[in-house]
């Protein structure tokens, strides 16, 4: 309808009154446009802007049909260097991303498993959302980082030790009995470099160093990662911990001269 209502003529702005029928009760749906507008105004669904502008219908989010979430999420940005939640872990994901994943795939009290928990983003999100959780990571640095982050981001200030008995470091995991050869003897300690991290080297463990390298390359469009050195040893876990303990490091990235790292790895006797 283009008729004036409450002193407002929609024709002056080249528009007309449009009343959404989905919120009207049945007895109002056959009424005139003016009567419908009067009803909406009575129940507080009309917004009167200042300066005599055309009033607007109030819409509420829980009444809108919305759009189903797509498989591509571009509304959660990556972490920036100044973000408070950033730990410096190279593959850290935003907490908001894990919040959404956990909310859409589990209920309160459910168990959440992250077998590559890294800097504990999944663990923190699960704890915030009242889920049980298990976080696993092969890196010895992840143990310290998980405890540190849970204490900082989750723990009750009056009980900062509440997670101490729930986080465990296993330096000698159980031996598999379904393989003819001990799979632990086939693992490598690798040293990976990247041009963006000059003077730093990622030291970690992998059964197949090339596959581990390929995994890192998928997250790097420039494919700058490269293997500088790898050593197959039955003492892989102790060796990784040894390298991280004698050189300055930032999580899994060791800050040292490459020759010194290689020499230390070659001379390590597994003690």
Secondary structure (3-state) at 104: helix
User: Do 207 and 134 have their domain in common?
Assistant: no
pTM score, whole prediction = 0.48
Nearest Cα residue to 153 out of 97, 108, 95, 105? 95
- Res. 209: pLDDT tops 50: yes
Whether 85 is in a domain gets the answer no
Structural domain for 214, as ranges? 183-267
pLDDT band at 172 (very low <50, low <70, confident <90, very high): low
The tens digit of pLDDT for each residue in 35-56 reads 888 888 888 888 888 876 778 8
Query: What whole-number distance in Å separates Cα of residue 205 and Cα of residue 241?
Result: 10
Tell me the pLDDT tens digit for each residue of 79-118: 888 888 888 888 889 999 999 999 999 999 999 999 999 8
Query: What 3-state DSSP class applies to 133?
Result: strand
Would residue 102 be called left, alpha or beta, if left means φ above 0 and alpha means ψ between -120 and 50 degrees? Answer: alpha
DSSP bridge pairs for 113? 134
Residues 153 and 105 both lie in one domain: yes
List the single range of 55-64, 161-170, 210-219 with lowest mean pLDDT. 161-170
> Quick check: is 176 in a domain?
no
Half-sphere exposure of 240 (CA within 13 A, CB side): 25
Please check whether residues 201 and 149 belong to one and the same domain. no
Residue 4 counted as domain residue: no
Tokens 């039955």 correspond to 234
Contact at 8 Å (CB) between 204 and 240? yes
Of the candidates 254, 253, 261, the one whose C-alpha atom is nearest the C-alpha of residue 119 is 253
> Of 166, 196, 222, at which residue does a domain stop?
166
Domain membership of residue 78 (yes or no) is: no
As a whole number of Å, the CA-based R_g of the chain is: 30
Taking 60 as the threshold, does the pLDDT of residue 184 lie above it? Answer: no
Instruction: Tell me 268's DSSP state.
Output: -
- 187 and 229 part of one domain: yes
Over residues 231-247, the pLDDT tens digits come to: 998 888 889 989 999 99
Q: What is the pLDDT of residue 160?
A: 45
Question: With contact defined as beta carbons under 8 Å apart, do 193 and 244 qualify?
Answer: no
User: How far is residue 125's CA from residue 133's CA, in Å, rounded to a whole number?
Assistant: 10
Residue at 143 is within a domain: yes
């Amino acid at each position: 309808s283009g008729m004036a209502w409450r002193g407002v003529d929609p024709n002056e702005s080249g528009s007309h009154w449009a009343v959404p029928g989905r919120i009207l009760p049945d007895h109002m749906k056959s009424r005139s446009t003016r009567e419908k507008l009067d009803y909406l105004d009575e129940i507080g669904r009309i917004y009167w802007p200042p300066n005599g502008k055309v009033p607007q219908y109030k819409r509420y989010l829980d009444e809108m049909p919305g759009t189903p979430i797509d498989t591509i999420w571009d509304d959660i940005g990556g972490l920036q260097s100044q973000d408070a939640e950033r730990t410096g872990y190279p593959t850290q994901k935003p907490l908001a991303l894990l919040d959404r994943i956990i909310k859409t795939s589990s209920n309160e009290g459910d168990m959440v498993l992250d077998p590559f928990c890294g800097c504990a983003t999944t663990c923190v999100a699960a704890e915030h959302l009242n889920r049980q959780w298990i976080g696993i990571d092969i890196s010895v640095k992840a143990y310290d980082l998980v405890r540190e982050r849970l204490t900082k981001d989750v723990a009750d200030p009056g009980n900062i030790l509440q997670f101490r008995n729930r986080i465990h470091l296993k330096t000698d995991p159980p031996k598999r009995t379904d393989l003819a050869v001990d799979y632990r003897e086939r693992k490598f300690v690798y040293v990976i470099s990247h041009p963006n991290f000059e003077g730093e080297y990622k030291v970690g463990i992998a059964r197949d160093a090339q596959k581990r390298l390929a995994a890192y390359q998928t997250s790097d469009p420039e494919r700058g990662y490269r293997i500088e050195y790898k050593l197959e040893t039955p003492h892989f876990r102790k060796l990784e911990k040894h390298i991280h303990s004698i050189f300055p490091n930032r999580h899994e990235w060791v800050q040292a001269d490459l020759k010194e790292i290689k020499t230390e790895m070659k001379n390590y006797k597994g003690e």
